[in-house]
Amino acid sequence: MTMLDQRHEEKLSAAAGVPDALAEWVAAIAAHTRPDRVVWWTGTPAEVSTLQDELVAEGKLIRLNPELRPESFLARSTPDDVARVESRTFICSESPADAGPTNNWREPAGMRAELSARFAGCMRGRTLYVVPFSMGPVGGPLSRVGVQLTDSGYAVLSMEIMTRTGAAVIAEIAGGADWVRAIHSVGAPLLPGDEDVAWPCNPDKYIVQFPETREIWSFGSGYGGNALLAKKCFALRIASVQGRDEGWLAEHMLLMRLISPEGRAFHIAGAFPSACGKTNLAMLRPDLPGWRVETLGDDIAWLRPGADGRLWAINPEAGFFGVAPGTSAKTNRAAIEMLASHTIFTNVALTAEGDVWWEGLTDTPPAGLTDWRGNAWDADAGTPAAHPNARFTVAAERCPTAAEDIGEAVPVDAILFGGRRADTVPLVTEARGWEHGVYLGATIASETTAAAEGATGVVRRDPFAMLPFCGYHVADHWAHWLSIGRGLDAELAPRMYRVNWFRRDTERGFLWPGFTENARVLAWIAGRIAGEAEANETAIGAVPLASDIAAEGVSAERLSQLLTVDPVEWRYEVEREAEFFGGVGGRLPVELSAQLAEARIRIARAFG
Ligand code: SAT
Ligand code: MN
C-alpha cells in the first residue's frame, strides 16, 4: 500500500458515519469527474503537514525559510488566474428577474448541461478532496455548513485556514443540518504521461451559483474567491439568498469591537468593496490614548435581528485572506505580527533568503528578489515584484488584536459604508435614520481595484459593497435591508455612516492620513452613539466638527476640505445615483426613491 492509499483508507474510516445523501453525492461527482482517488478531509495536524509536504514535493508550494517565516509557504499562480472573474460569475436562479440587472444570469438547465460537459473527467489523474466545513462555530446558532469537493490541494489547505473543517461537521449533516454543495475543479486533468504544473488551471472559467438548490460549481480557477468556495460563493452569494428567505443578512463587512478609554464597547460592522482597507481597519491600533480595537472579522458578517430588538452579527470565517501589497508596520502592525508564521502567501515576491516581500512592506526593496512570476525582479523595469492582488491566508487566532470571542455573536452599534472616492464624498457623514442609511449603502460607489479582473481606478456603483456578491436582485436586497430595519427597536438599531478615507487633493494626494488615524472617525461615531459628540448638519447628513477629528499633521484647511459638501460635485453625484436607481427597474423600493427625491431637494435648498 502506498502512503497515499493508506491515507485514503484512514480518511474513509474517519468518514464513517457519513450520511447516505453525502456519500451518494460524493460518489456521483467522483463518477463524473473521475479522480484517481477520493480523500475525506478531517483537518488533523497530521493531514495538514502531509498535504503541505506533498504540495512542496510537487512544486505547488515553496516552503519559506523556517528561520525567518516558520510553517509558511509561497504559491505562485499563472498570470491569467490572479483575481476574481466577475465576467465568468453566474447566478442561475430559475427566473432571470431573481438574479436582477447586476448579476450575470444563466438559465439553470442550460448551465447544468454546460457544466456537465466541462466537469466530465476533469479530475483525472488528480485527488478529489471532500472538505466538510462550517461557517461560524460548528453547531452555533447562526452557523451554516457545507461540503466542498475540490481537486486542488492549495484550496484544501486554504479552506482549512479559512473555515472550521472536520468530522464534527459531518455529524452536523448526519444530524439533519441543511448543507451547501460546493464543487470545485481547477479544470486540468492529468492524462497518462502528462506532467503536472505548479498552478494547474483552465483558461475557461465558471463560477456558478444555483441559489434555489444552494449549489456552487466552480471550474478553471485555483485563486481566492474563485476556489475557496466557502467565502464569496457560499458566505455571500448563497448565504444572501438563505438570509433573504429566512430573515437575516449575509454582508461583505468587517466586524470589530471598539473599546473607549472608559471601557465601553462599541461593535462596528463596515461594508467596503474588495481591497479598500477592511483588513487594516479591522486590525486598527488606534493612535488615540486609551482606545482599543478587537478584531472580529475582516470580510464577511452575517447579521440577524435578535429577540431584544438589536441587530446581532457573527464573522462566519475562521481566517483572513488579505491583500499583501501595502501592508506594513505603518499601515497594519497587527497584520505584520500575524504573518510571522503559519501563513500561505500567494503571488508575493521571494527574497534571496527565502522570505517574502511586497510593495509597501519596506521603503526599499531588498536586493535579489524573485518576482511573483518566478523571475529575477528588475527594480527598474517598472513592474511590481508582488502582484497587486497578492494575498496572505492565515488563521484568525494568529491575529494579535483578535477578540477572544471571535466567532460569537455581538450586537452591532454602527454600520459603515465606504469606498474609494477621490472626490465628492466627505470623510464621514451620519445617516438621519435607517432608511437614509439604506440609501447610503445602496449608493456606494468606489474606484475598482486589482481584487477583480479588469481595469482599476474606474468609479462604479457597488451597492452595499455587494455588487459581485449578492445572490439575488439588487433592489430586493435593499428591500430586505428595509424590512430588517422595521424589525429592530429604533433606539437600539445600529446607526449608519458613510465614510471615505480616500479623498484627494489634486496636488497633494490623499487628504487624510488614514490607517491608525481612522480611529478619530470611529471615536466620533462612538461619541454620537453615546450621545456625547456634536455634529454639523449638511444636505447629505451630519458631519463632525473639525476639532473633533483633528489629527496631527492635518491642517485646518485640509480638515475643512475633508468635510466639505461641494455643491457642484453633489448636484452631479445625485444625478448619477438617480441614473443608477433608474437602471434597477421596477423593484426599486419606494422608500429609496423617496430618499433620492429628498436628497435632491436638500441639495437644491442648501445650494440654491
Ligand atoms: O474574492 S476574493 O476572496 O478573492 C477577495 C475579494 O475580492 O474580496
Ligand atoms: Mn472581500
Q: What would be the CATH architecture of the domain defined by 250-319+404-607?
A: Alpha-Beta Complex (3.90)
What is the best residue among 161, 317, 321 to mutate for testing ligand 1's pocket, by most ligand atoms within 8 Å of CB? Answer: 321
DSSP 395: E
Q: How confident is the model at residue 14 (pLDDT cuts 50, 70, 90)?
A: very low
The pLDDT assigned to 15 comes to: 57
Q: pLDDT by residue (tens digit) across 458-476? A: 999 999 999 999 999 999 9
Cell numbers of 422, please?
477621490
Q: Whose CA is closest to atom 3 on ligand 1?
A: 225
| Overall average pLDDT of the 54-60 stretch | 98
The pLDDT of residue 507 is 77
Percent of the chain surpassing pLDDT 70: 97
What integer pLDDT is reported at residue 430 of this predicted model?
98
Using CA atoms, how far residue 303 sits from 58, 229, 265, 412, 492, in Å, is: 42, 20, 18, 9, 14
Tens of pLDDT, residue by residue over 257-308, are 999 999 999 999 999 999 999 999 999 999 899 999 999 999 999 999 999 9
* 249-253, 402-406, 505-509: range with lowest mean pLDDT: 505-509
Q: Using an 8 Å Cβ cutoff, are 122 and 149 in contact?
A: no
CATH number of the domain located at residue range(s) 3-64+84-247 in this protein: 3.40.449.10
Q: Which is more confidently placed, 221 or 13?
A: 221
pLDDT, one tens digit per residue, over 396-446 is 999 999 999 999 999 999 999 999 999 999 999 999 999 999 999 999 999
Radius of gyration of the chain (CA): 24
CA 414/CA 602 separation, integer angstroms: 24
Q: What is the pLDDT of residue 466?
A: 98
pLDDT at 94 over 90: yes
> Does the annotation flag 382 for ligand binding?
no
Q: How confident is the model at residue 585 (pLDDT cuts 50, 70, 90)?
A: confident
Nearest to 514 by CA among 335, 354, 341, 281: 281
State the pTM of this model: 0.96
- Cα-to-centroid distance, 404 and ligand 2 (Å): 23
500 is in an annotated binding site: no
The CA distances from residue 90 to 81, 146, 164, 509, 583, in Å, are 18, 20, 27, 38, 19
Planar angle of CA 348, 315, 499, nearest 5 degrees: 75
> What grid cell was written down for 551?
489629527
Mean pLDDT rounded to a whole number for the chain = 96
pLDDT tens across 474-488, in order? 999 999 999 999 999
State the pLDDT at residue 16: 66
Distance from residue 403's CA to the centre of ligand 2 (Å): 20
Extents of the domains making up the chain: 3-64+84-247, 250-319+404-607
**CB of 451 closer than 6 angstroms to any ligand 1 atom:** yes
Q: Is 92 a catalytic residue?
A: no
pLDDT at 252 over 90: yes
CA–CA separation, 560 and 547 (whole Å):
10
Classify 266 as helix, strand or coil. Answer: strand
User: Do the domains 3-64+84-247 and 250-319+404-607 sit in the same CATH topology, yes or no?
Assistant: no
pLDDT for residue 141 is more than 80:
yes
